[in-house]
Amino acid sequence: MAHFIIHVWYGMTLRDGKNLMTADTPTRSQIEDFLYREAALLDTWKLMEWADLFTEDGEYLIPSTDLPDGDPANTLFLVYDDRHRLTERAKRLLKKSAHSEFPHSRLRRIIGNVMAEAPNNGVIRVTCSFAVFRSRLQRADIYPGHSLYDLVVGGPAGFRIRRKRAVLDSDDLRDQGKVSIIL
């Protein structure tokens, strides 16, 4: 199926020059607000609330830096969590026994270049760029990248995440050492 980019211009949503805005079509501003709320949950270590943003069949993925377009069916991923595993990851990172993140890193992320495609079978494909700044134990790291989301409308936050693929735009992790935070 063909996907079309939604362009928001002076309050109109356009596809090929035609107005597609309906009462049920979310605006880019609504999608951005959702992504900013997700970022705030992650930056403030509200990881269980973050996990609740996912659908029951939700997935959280981080491909390896050497194969960012890899397929999890036949490529090694840094993270490939279904809903159960991402919830367990959140619980584990909040415990004092999570030595790689206790005390917790100070985090701040910037999200930009948000683009949303027209809904397809109730799913909105969203892409955005991110930079996550992490400070821990007198060391600062930056994780630049982009995320690909499949969002469905609904839930208390306005949307639910069916799939989040966070792609690191670094060619390796030597400077950072590892990914012990949620991107």
What does the pLDDT read at residue 167?
96
Q: Is residue 2 part of a domain?
A: no
pLDDT band at 57 (very low <50, low <70, confident <90, very high): very high
What does the pLDDT read at residue 154?
87
The mean pLDDT of 45-70, rounded to a whole number, is 95
CATH number of the domain that residue 127 is part of: 3.10.450.50
What does the pLDDT read at residue 23?
55
Residue 22 has pLDDT above 80, yes or no: no
What does the pLDDT read at residue 102?
84
Residue 5 has pLDDT above 90, yes or no: no
pLDDT band at 99 (very low <50, low <70, confident <90, very high): confident
Number of H helices, E strands in the chain: 3, 9
Distance CA 118, CA 134 (A): 34
Distance CA 50, CA 140 (A): 24
What does the pLDDT read at residue 97?
85
Q: Is residue 134 part of a domain?
A: yes
Distance CA 154, CA 34 (A): 11
What does the pLDDT read at residue 173?
61
State the residue range of the domain holding 36.
14-168
Give SS3 for 89: helix
Residue 116 has pLDDT above 60, yes or no: yes
Total number of domains in the chain: 1
Distance CA 67, CA 171 (A): 9
pLDDT band at 45 (very low <50, low <70, confident <90, very high): very high
**CA 53 centroid distance within chain:** 11
Residue 175 has pLDDT above 70, yes or no: no
Q: Is residue 1 part of a domain?
A: no
- Note whether 165 and 147 are within 8 A (CB): yes
Per-residue pLDDT reduced to its tens digit, 128-165: 999 999 998 888 889 999 999 999 998 888 899 999 99
Higher pLDDT, 4 or 79: 79
Residue 15 has pLDDT above 50, yes or no: no
Q: Is residue 31 part of a domain?
A: yes
Contacts 24+ apart (CB under 8 A), 92-95: 93/45, 93/47, 93/180, 93/181, 93/182, 94/45, 94/47, 94/48
Partnered with residue 163 across adjacent β-strands are 59, 150
Backbone angles phi, psi at 73, to 5 degrees: -70, -25
The mean pLDDT of 7-26, rounded to a whole number, is 47
